[in-house]
Structure 1
Amino acid sequence: MDAGVISLILFVLLLALLASGLWVAPTLIAVGYVALGVFSPAPAGTLLASTVWDASWNWALTALPLFVWMGEILFRTRLSSDMFTGLAPWTSRLPGGLLHVNILGCGVMAAVAGSSAVTCATVGRMSMPELRKRGYDEGLAIGTLAGSGTLGLLIPPSIMLIVYGVVAQVSISRLFIAGIVPGVMIIAIFMTYVAIRSSLNPSLAPKPDRHLSFGEKLWASRFLIPVMGLIFVVLGSIYGGFATPTEAATIGVIGALVLAAVSRSLTWDSFMESLMGAVRTSCMIAFILAGAAFLSIAMGFTGVPRVLAGYVDAWNLSPFALIALLTVLYIFLGCFLDGVSMMVLTAAVVLPMVEKAGIDLLWFGIFTVIVVEMAQITPPVGFNLFVLQGMTGRDILKVTKAAMPFFALMLLGILIITLVPEIVLAPVQFMLSK
C-alpha cells in the first residue's frame, strides 16, 4: 500500500482515538501497534516491549521530575509575594506600571519553575488582586499573564527543552543556553507592547500614588535575593560546567526546600502535595514519551517519514517556507493537543524533514518551544487559558481575547529568530569557545 495512504489512515485513526477521549499515551501506542500489525511484518509486541523499556530509563529524563518538583515546592512558598514586593518599585514609573511585574515576575519564576502552568498560576494569584485593587485594566492584566506565563516553557530550566532534547537527541545543556536570549527577547517584546499601549491609553495603567527614592527601591529589592540566588546557583552550575542538568536539578530541589523552610511555608502537607504533584506530572510526560517512542519506531518500519520527507523535498521548499509551513501546522495542532503531546507526536515525521532541509536541530528546538508556548494560549485546549479562567472567574472567550495580542507577539518572536538565527546559536557558540 502507498505510504501516503497509510499515513492518512493512521492520522484518521489518531484523531478518532483522541476525539473519543482516550489518553494521549495509549493513543500513540495503539496507533503504533496498528501501523506495525497491519502495514508491516515487524513483530509489534516485541518492539513495543523493547521500545517502551528503552524510552523509560533514559538518564537525561532524570532531570525532568526534579525540576518539576522544584517548581511545585516554590509554588507553595511566599516566593510570589516577595517577587511582587521586590519588582514593583522598579516598574511603577514605566508606562504600564505594575503590568510589567507580571512579565518580569513570570520571567523570574520561569527560571526556577520550568513549567508554564506553575509560572502562570504562581504570579497570577499574587498579582491579579493587587492590579484590580489599583484600577489596572483587567483585559491587559490577563493578557500579560497569559503570554508571559508561557515563558516557563522557554527560559531554562525548561521541562519542554528537556523533552525536546530527549526526543531529538540534542544536548540539554546547549538547549538551556540557547533558550536564554530568545526568552529575554520575548520579555522585551511584551514589555514594549505594554508600554506603547499604556502610553496611547493612560487609563489602562494608573500612575502610582507616590514615587520611591532609589534607596527605597534598593531596600525593597532584598526580597528578590532568595529567588535570584537560587537561579544563579542552578543555572550557573550548568553553564559553568560544574554540574549536569540532573545534578543542577537536585541542587534546585534542595534550595527550594531550604527557601520553603526559611519562609516557614514548608509543612508536611505542603511537602507531600508538592511531591505528589511532581509525580503526577512526571509520570504523564514519561508515559507520553514512551508512547511516542513506540509510534516513531512503528512509523519508521512503515516508511511513512521517508516518503513524506520525499514529498516535501519534491516541493523544493526553502528552509523559510518549511518553517512557515511547520508554524501553521503546530498552531493548528495546538488547538487540540497539549505541548508535550504535540512535540513528541510530530517528531518522527518532522525531524527528518528539518535535518534534510539543513536546519540546525538546536535552533529548531527553540523554535518548536516558542510555537508550543503559543499553543498554551490557543483555544480550546490552551492550558494557560484554563488556569486564568479559574483564577479570574471570567469566561474563556474574554480570557482568549486578552491573550491574542501576545499570541501575535510570539509570532513576531519566531520571525525574528528565523531572520536572525544567531540570536539562538551565538550564545551556545560563545559558551563552547570558553
Structure 2
Amino acid sequence: MDILLATGLIVLLFVALASGLWIGMSLIGVALVAMALSTPRPVGDSMVLTIWGHTSSWTLTALPLFLWMGEILVRTRLSEDMFRGLAPWLNRLPGRLLHVNVIGSTIFAAVSGSSAATCATVGRIALPELRQRGYPESLAVGSLAGAATLGLLIPPSIIMIVYGVAADVSIAKLFIAGIVPGLVLAALFMGYIVVWSLLNPKKIPAPDPATTLRAKLYASRHLIPVVLLIGGVLGSIYTGVATATEAAAIGVLGSLVLAAVEGSLSWKTFTAGLGAACRVYCMIGFILAGAAFLTLAMGFVGLPRHLAEAIGAMNLSPLALVLALAVLYLVLGCFLDGISMVVLTIGVLLPTVQAAGFDLIWFGVFTVLLVELAQITPPVGLNLFVLQGLTKHDLTYVARTATPMFLLMLVAALLSYYFQDVILWLPSHM
C-alpha cells in the first residue's frame, strides 16, 4: 500500500467535506481519485456496478419504509400520545423526557436492525417534541446519536448476519448474545443523562405536578396505539410471518390505520409525510452510494487489509490485541461503513482471534460494538449524517454532541472484554 496515497486521500476527503460539498458527492469524488490512481480497472464501470449493487438491495428497502412510518407518526397525534403516556413515568427521573430517545431507540432497534433507520425514525418523532418542550438541543441530539446505534446490537441486526456468515457461526446465538450488551449500553446512556441533568438542573424543564399511580396508569392509555404498532412489527418478525423489510411495510400500514382511526390522517398529512420520507431517504441513499464506492476504492488501495495484516503479525497478548483491534476499527470507521468493515477484515483477523483463544460469538458482539462507534465517528459516521439532515446543524456540532456517547461506547467495549462470560451466558443456554 502506498502510504502517501492513503494519506493524500484522507486529506482530500477532509478538505472536500470542509468545503461544504455534498457529503455523498465528496465520498464519490475521493473514491474516483483513489480508483484512478490505484487500479487500471475502468472507473465508470466500477462505480455504476458498486452503487447499483448496494442501493438496489432488498434489505435496504426497509430503511425508506421505516422513515415513512416515522413521518406518519410525526404528522399525527401518535408521537404526541407517546410522550403523554411516558411523561408521568419519567417525570421524577433526572433528565425526564430525554430518556425517550434511549427508550425509543432501544425498542425500535428490536424492530429495524438498522442504526440509520432507528436514528431517522426516533429522531423524527422525538426531536421536535423535545425542542418544543424546551429540552437542551445538544443533549437531545447527542443522546439520540448514541442510542440509535443500538439498532446494530439488539437483534435483529444486519451487521450480525454479515458477521455470522463471514465467521461461520450461529446467527441465532449472535442475536441472543447481543441482548445483554444492548441493554447495558442503553443503561449507560440513561445514566449519563441522569448525571448530566443533576449537574445542570436549570437546563432541564421543570417537572409536571406529581400524580398518583392511578393517574399514571390512566395516562398510559395513550401508549396503546404505539405499543400495538411496535408489537405488530416485532411480532411479525419473531413469529416468522415477515422479514424485517416486510415488517417495515406492516409498520407503515399500521401507522396509516391508527392515524385514520384517531382522525388525524388527511390527504395533506399523507402526501407531506411521503414527500419528507423521500427527501430524507434520498439524502441517506446518496451517502450510502458514496460510502459503498469509497469502500471499494479503499479496498483497491489496500488500507483495511494491510492494517488487519499488520495487527495479526504483531503476536500481541489478548488484552493488547483487543486494544489494537479497537484502534483498527476506529480508524476504519472514519472512512468505511460498518458492513464493509466486517467484510474486509474478518477473514484476515479470524485466525489471529482464534489463536488468542477468543470465542467467536463474543468476538462478534465486540466487533459490533466497535462498528457502532463508527456510526458516530466523523467524517463518515452515518448517524451523524442522518441527524445533520434532520436537525440542519453542521456536522461538527452533531459530532461534538455525540462525543460523550462515543466515550461511553468505548467503555462498554472494554467492559465486554472483562465480562465475556456474561455475554456468552444466554447463547450457551439456548
- The answer to whether residue 82 in structure 2 is matched with residue 80 in structure 1 is no
Give, in whole Å, the separation in 2 of the partners of 1:83 and 1:301: 48
CA shift for structure 1 position 218? 1.4
CA shift for structure 1 position 253? 1.3
Residue aligning to 1:39: 38
C-alpha spacing 1:279/1:99, structure 2 compared with 1 (3 Å):
closer
1:215-270: per-residue Cα shift (whole Å, max 9, x none)?
22211111111111211221232233332111211111111111222232322232
CA shift for structure 1 position 174? 8.0
For 1:214-253, what aligned pairs fall within 5 Å after superposition? 214-253=213-252
Give, in whole Å, the separation in 1 of the partners of 2:174 and 2:61: 16
Residue aligning to 2:67: 68
C-alpha spacing 1:157/1:242, structure 2 compared with 1 (3 Å):
farther
- Which deviates further from its counterpart, 279-288 or 231-240? 279-288
Q: Report SS of the residue matched to 1:77.
A: coil
CA shift for structure 1 position 76? 1.8
- The answer to whether residue 310 in structure 2 is matched with residue 311 in structure 1 is yes
Residue aligning to 1:146: 142
Residue aligning to 1:123: 126
Residue aligning to 2:258: 259
Residue aligning to 1:135: none
1:366-402: per-residue Cα shift (whole Å, max 9, x none)?
43124424669x9xx6764786687xxxx99999887
Q: Report SS of the residue matched to 1:115.
A: helix
TM-score (structure 1 length as normaliser): 0.73
- The answer to whether residue 319 in structure 2 is matched with residue 320 in structure 1 is no
Give yes or no for contact 1:69–1:253 (8 Å, CA) kept in 2.
Answer: yes
Q: Report SS of the residue matched to 2:375.
A: helix
- Which deviates further from its counterpart, 189-198 or 78-87? 189-198
TM-score (structure 2 length as normaliser): 0.74
Give yes or no for contact 1:71–1:118 (8 Å, CA) kept in 2.
Answer: yes
CA shift for structure 1 position 117? 4.3
- The answer to whether residue 277 in structure 2 is matched with residue 278 in structure 1 is yes
Residue aligning to 1:409: 408
1:125-155: per-residue Cα shift (whole Å, max 9, x none)?
224444x4xxxxx55x852553145423424
For 1:285-434, what aligned pairs fall within 5 Å after superposition? 285-317=284-316, 318-326=320-328, 328-329=330-331, 333=334, 343=338, 350-351=345-346, 354-355=349-350, 357-358=352-353, 360-361=363-364, 363-373=366-376, 384=387, 405-421=404-420, 433=430
| One-letter amino acid of the structure 2 residue matched with residue 147 of structure 1 | S
Give, in whole Å, the separation in 1 of the partners of 2:301 and 2:398: 43
Give yes or no for contact 1:68–1:159 (8 Å, CA) kept in 2.
Answer: no
Give, in whole Å, the separation in 1 of the partners of 2:375 and 2:162: 16
Give yes or no for contact 2:98–2:140 (8 Å, CA) kept in 1.
Answer: yes
CA shift for structure 1 position 73? 1.9
CA shift for structure 1 position 56? 3.5
| One-letter amino acid of the structure 2 residue matched with residue 92 of structure 1 | N
Give, in whole Å, the separation in 2 of the partners of 1:249 and 1:306: 35
C-alpha spacing 1:85/1:112, structure 2 compared with 1 (3 Å):
farther
Give yes or no for contact 2:304–2:332 (8 Å, CA) kept in 1.
Answer: no
Give yes or no for contact 2:101–2:147 (8 Å, CA) kept in 1.
Answer: no
- The answer to whether residue 58 in structure 2 is matched with residue 59 in structure 1 is yes
Give yes or no for contact 1:96–1:204 (8 Å, CA) kept in 2.
Answer: no
Give yes or no for contact 2:337–2:374 (8 Å, CA) kept in 1.
Answer: no
Give, in whole Å, the separation in 1 of the partners of 2:395 and 2:292: 34
- Which deviates further from its counterpart, 317-326 or 160-169? 160-169
Count of equivalent residues = 410
Give yes or no for contact 2:160–2:368 (8 Å, CA) kept in 1.
Answer: yes
Give, in whole Å, the separation in 2 of the partners of 1:206 and 1:295: 44
C-alpha spacing 1:105/1:365, structure 2 compared with 1 (3 Å):
closer
CA shift for structure 1 position 293? 3.9
CA shift for structure 1 position 320? 1.4
